[in-house]
Amino acid sequence: MSQKARVINLYKTLLHLGKDWPAGYPYFRNKAHNAFLKNKDETDSKNIEKLIKHGEFVCKEIEALYMLKKYRALKRRYYDS
């Protein structure tokens, strides 16, 4: 897959993950949009690859936060703590 397609896919994934963001979707969308705009003029393929890897790491971290949030909610619901 080309780097352009990977960047677009990363952006779509981040926007999808942002739907459950605690501060709201518009806040998350603005932050993601600004981050992508900041790096829009990047032409070095190695640096673009590094930015894509960082974006994928951020996606994994967001997913982990959501899983932890769900785990804690279930634990509170079923166990006395």
Give φ, ψ of 23 to 5 degrees: -85, -5
Domain that holds residue 7: 3-78
The answer, yes or no, to whether residue 41 has pLDDT greater than 80, is: yes
Specify the number of domains making up the chain.
1
Please give the helix or strand (H or E) that residue 12 lies within, else none. helix 3-17
Instruction: Tell me the pTM.
Output: 0.84
Sequence-distant (≥ 6) Cβ neighbours of residue 69 within 8 angstroms = none
The answer, yes or no, to whether residue 42 has pLDDT greater than 70, is: yes
Residue indicated by tokens 């969308």: 29
Q: How confident is the model at residue 81 (pLDDT cuts 50, 70, 90)?
A: low
- Residues 41-53 have a mean pLDDT of 95
Give CA–CA dist 21/35, Å, rounded: 17
